[in-house]
Amino acid sequence: MNKRGVLRGSAAVWVLLFWLSGCLGYGFRGSVNNLPPDIKAVAVPIFVNDSSEPGLETVLTNALIYEFTRSRILNLAPEKEAQAVIYGRIKAVAEDAAVYASQTLALERRLTVTLEVSCRRADNDQVLWQDPFLSRSETFVVSTDPYQTQRNREEALKKIAQDLSERIHNGVLENF
């Protein structure tokens, strides 16, 4: 191997070492658990729904359960067997026009869901993590077909539920 090849190889090693040194202490989002080590299982009771959106509590609860099942960082358990419990309350669902075709005709509408969420120790009710104003918005297309508009709205609510669930999951595990 000539001198040029050795220099390239050593430069590549130094670049790799420099890059890795900057990554120490970091993990992929959703793969870190900063909760106390005794917390092995979490319970997710159905969210309380203070909004006028029927069934949203089930959609959000199921999305959060799916997020914890997918990550496999904590086990899911009934409240009596879990070391931590995630409580959620749907505070509001707001809908307004987002994009107008004219002063009276909306092409897109925006849904905003606001939650109050906390993760508490099951044994002493100590707050491990909370966000009293967790919010997410999504727009959906308004169609001339009211059934299509309703389907678009439902898809927007599902997207909001997925995004909020991911934020809750990551908040509970990473921001303790």
Can you list the domains of the chain with their CATH numbers?
A: 34-174 (3.30.160.150)
Q: Which residues, at least 6 apart from 35, have a Cβ–Cβ distance to it below 8 Å?
A: 74, 84, 128, 172, 173, 176
pLDDT at 175: 75
Q: Which residues pair with 110 in a beta bridge?
A: 96, 139
- DSSP E strand boundaries for the chain: 41-43, 48-49, 75-76, 84-100, 106-121, 127-141
pLDDT tens for the chain, 176 residues: list them. Answer: 555 554 454 444 444 444 444 444 444 444 578 899 999 999 999 999 999 999 999 999 999 999 999 999 999 999 999 999 999 999 999 999 988 888 777 799 999 999 999 999 999 999 999 999 999 999 999 999 999 999 999 999 999 999 999 999 999 999 75
- Cα–Cα distance between 119 and 84 in angstroms, integer? 7
Please give the model's pTM, rounded to 2 decimal places.
0.79
Nearest to 171 by CA among 110, 124, 115, 123: 115
